[in-house]
Amino acid sequence: MTTTQPTPFDAEIKAKHRKLWAAGDYPAVADLIAPLGRRLVDALYIRSGDKVLDVAAGAGNVAVPAARAGGHVVATDLTPELLETGEARHKDLGITWRTADAEDLPFDDDDFDIATSCVGVMFAPNHQRCADELVRVVRPGGRIGLINWTPTGFIGELFGVMKPYAPPPPPGAQPGPLWGSTDHVRSLFDGRVTDHRFTTTTVEIDKFPDGAAFRDFFKAHYGPTIVTFRNIADDPTRVAELDSAIAELADRHITDGRMEWEYLQAVLTVV
């Protein structure tokens, strides 16, 4: 097994990342997009006996349906609070919940039949390192399945709206929604996977009657939005600007109480 020795700077970044995703109530946000986990499990044809690794698993949107399909599942995340929620909800499924960094997975080479990540690994700062680790831990002929928000879809637009108000990203960090670009995913796995299957589609969200309701929910529950508002908390003018911008963006995407959030699904076979 290959490992990367973290530097003090890396450790600081990871600590901030854990704190961000522990803020609010991410499992409540993940519940909105629960269908995505089932879609990815179906696309990967997970069956009884498959050894499955869910990376940046949160509370288990993929891990849970993968276990119900018969997989032997290990769910990992950098934020232990999310794993604790998943384990408390699903004690009966035999999932192993383990704190781990997507950029430095604590598993042997070729250890899994399938690796997955659903709007999770996209938020790690070093995209190439994450892709390298996914390839490393999956056996030849095994599969990698990813779902990531696209740059041009609603969540990609939301991050664009928040960016001017958010804390600066760490040096060298790449924008998460790049993982929603087919060309970017191809470049990350170049020469090491085959049988690429890419699908760009949407998940329907029917929780929010208007943009203000969406904004208020994300301000209370979604770590990146919470941290962004904290960053400008001392400037009421900027807070009001961001309040208005998020509500207006959501209003443009809501029709009859429904939204469509666009994502890229990628299924790759390891060479």
Region 213-227: mean pLDDT is: 98
What is the C-alpha to C-alpha distance for residues 175 and 101, in angstroms, rounded to an integer?
18
- Write down the pLDDT at residue 128: 97
Residue 268 carries which side chain, given as an amino acid letter? Answer: L
Q: Who contacts 65 (Cβ-Cβ below 8 Å, separation ≥6)?
A: 37, 38, 41
Residue 50's domain comprises 8-203+262-270
pLDDT over threshold 50, residue 65: yes
Q: Is residue 215 part of a domain?
A: no
Average pLDDT, the chain: 95
Model confidence, pTM: 0.94
Q: pLDDT by residue (tens digit) across 257-266?
A: 999 999 999 9
CATH of the domain at 139: 3.40.50.150
- Write down the pLDDT at residue 166: 98
Q: What are phi and psi of 139, to 5 degrees?
A: -65, 155
Q: pLDDT by residue (tens digit) across 66-94?
A: 999 999 999 999 999 999 999 999 999 99
Q: Is residue 158 part of a domain?
A: yes
Q: Is residue 183 part of a domain?
A: yes
Q: Is residue 257 part of a domain?
A: no
Q: Is residue 155 part of a domain?
A: yes
- Give the pair of three-digit tokens for residue 83: 């794993």
Spell out the SS3 assignment of 32-52.
HCHHHHHHHHHHHCCCCCCEE
Q: Is residue 222 part of a domain?
A: no
Give me the sheet containing 51-54, strands edge to edge. 96-99, 72-77, 51-54, 112-118, 138-149, 259-270, 193-205
Q: Is residue 67 part of a domain?
A: yes
Question: What's the total number of domains in the chain?
Answer: 1
How much of the chain, in percent, has pLDDT values that exceed 90? 94
| Local confidence band at 2 (pLDDT 50, 70, 90 cut-offs) | very low
Q: pLDDT by residue (tens digit) across 15-29?
A: 999 999 999 999 999
For residue 236, how many other CB atoms are within 10 A of its CB? 9
